Amino acid sequence: MAGLMWRYRVHDVLTGRPMYGDGLPLSGAQWSQALTEPGSLTGSIAITPDNRDAIADATLPDRACLYVLDEANRVAWHGIVVARPWSPKERAITLTAAHAKAWLKSRLIRKMSGSEHVAWRWSDADQFRIVQDLIAFAASEPGCPPVRVGSQTSGVRRDLTVEAQKFTEVAEAIGTMAERENGFDWDVSARYDAGAPEWVLELWFPERRRSAVPLRFEAAPSGGNILAYDWDDSAAERITRMWALADDPPPPDALMAVDAAPGLAEGHVLLREKAETFSGVAKRATLAEHARAERLASAVSPTTVQIDVTADSPPLDSYGVGDRCRLVLRDDWLDVDRSGVRVTERTIHDTTREEVAKATLTLDLADDQPPGG
């Protein structure tokens, strides 16, 4: 399949004002989207005397927001331009943009009562309502991009405390709930209707999925749709006993919980330990959820595998991060057939018409369940 057609529209991140005609002339662009961490985009623009001033105005870091549009005018990726280093030798700038979700890593939670910082507490509240409150707060001040927030619920109740003057990042507070047992997936997506972009909070429970048909990625002597793959078999990051601690009260009276691998008590597995402090957690049951999730994330080896796949089998717009797939790898060393592994990151490479369009996927082998489960 030859290169796909993408357009790179740019708008003012705060006002939505268009900043450059029908789209920036980016070349060699690639952009990533991940399930838990913000993705990024890079690409270069050749600078000429004719386009220099317009490109300079349209790519201002922290002012320009880039929207990658597909052939159906849907937003494939969006984020704020954060850097544009100039290469005199190449006579080009290299544009770097961070996904919209990354902005929430630089937005701090401050709840005020008059002139005093106070703790922000939710008790027995739906976890989606807490996220909606946090995002509404994040967008509430001058200098903040507007984000549309809905009112959906998940049915899962949570307690959350953000202590006064801890200056917790909004993204971090949401992540403490999302990555626990019975957690959720979330994103700051974008819509592009009538040339006007809009950021939208999206929430999924129990998990994010797009594909309506079973996904299969395969590399075998008989063929397949995988172009290349890596298999990094290592136990260096494995944890077989995980300690989760609260930050209040401090040691030696710290609240804590521990989760251990099956067979550890009998001496059947090697002991590898880790301890981590979870800010704002006040219940041992919550700490136990964190401890179990951290241990399970490292329980298999390799925990992830990276594959390059063609852009048309399956089509890029038919699946995304969060979807589950069947992975088949057969060669001189491997005989792998795993159902229900999860796509946790995807990088799309904008190629020329002569090149094969492709995507690089990261699959989480530790998160394995049937696609219909």
CATH number, domain containing residue 181: 3.55.50
Look up residue 342 and give its amino acid: R
1 in a structural domain: no
Evaluate whether 142 touches 193 at the Cβ level (below 8 Å): no
Q: Which helix (H) or strand (E) holds 132?
A: helix 127-138
Evaluate whether 310 touches 358 at the Cβ level (below 8 Å): yes
- At which of 104, 131, 149 does a domain end? 104
Evaluate whether 3 touches 350 at the Cβ level (below 8 Å): yes
Could you give the CA distance from residue 346 to residue 324 in angstroms, rounded to a whole number? 13
Could you give the CA distance from residue 116 to residue 40 in angstroms, rounded to a whole number? 37
Beta carbons within 10 angstroms of residue 174's beta carbon: 24
Say if residue 100 is in the same domain as residue 166.
no
Task: Note the pLDDT tens digit of each residue in 117-132.
Answer: 888 999 999 999 999 9
- The stretch 253-270 carries a mean pLDDT of 94
Say if residue 264 is in the same domain as residue 363.
no
pLDDT for residue 164:
80
193 in a structural domain: yes
209 in a structural domain: no
Say if residue 272 is in the same domain as residue 152.
no
Say if residue 43 is in the same domain as residue 86.
yes
Quote the crossing angle between the two packed helices 170-178 and 127-138, to the nearest 10°: 170
DSSP-derived secondary structure letter, 66:
E
27 in a structural domain: yes
> How many structural domains comprise the chain?
4
118 in a structural domain: yes
- Where residue 366 falls among pLDDT bands split at 50, 70, 90? confident
Q: Token digits for 312?
A: 């048309």
The pTM of this model reads 0.87
User: Does 373 have pLDDT greater than 70?
Assistant: no
332 in a structural domain: yes
Say if residue 364 is in the same domain as residue 224.
yes
Say if residue 127 is in the same domain as residue 48.
no
CATH, residue 327: 2.40.30
- At which of 249, 281, 296 does a domain end? 296
Could you give the CA distance from residue 24 to residue 8 in angstroms, rounded to a whole number? 5
Mean pLDDT of all residues in the chain? Answer: 93
322-359 as b/e: b if 16+ CB within 10 A: bbbbbbbbeeeeeebeebebbbbbbbbbbbeeeeebbb
- At which of 67, 85, 104 does a domain end? 104
131 in a structural domain: yes
Q: Which residues contact 28 (CB under 8 A, 6 or more apart)?
A: 42, 43, 44, 350
Say if residue 273 is in the same domain as residue 191.
no
Range of the domain at 254: 241-296
Say if residue 30 is in the same domain as residue 134.
no
Task: Note the pLDDT tens digit of each residue in 216-254.
Answer: 999 999 999 999 999 998 998 999 999 999 987 777 788
Could you give the CA distance from residue 236 to residue 208 in angstroms, rounded to a whole number? 29
Say if residue 198 is in the same domain as residue 262.
no
3-state secondary structure 260-307: ECCCCCCCCCCCCEEEEEECCCCCHHHHHHHHHHHHHCCCCCCCEEEE
Say if residue 64 is in the same domain as residue 76.
yes
pLDDT for residue 1:
41
Evaluate whether 281 touches 293 at the Cβ level (below 8 Å): no
Q: Using alpha carbons only, give the angle 230, 236, 240 rounded to the nearest 5 degrees.
A: 120
76 in a structural domain: yes
Say if residue 126 is in the same domain as residue 190.
yes
Say if residue 320 is in the same domain as residue 219.
yes
Q: Token digits for 161?
A: 């405390």
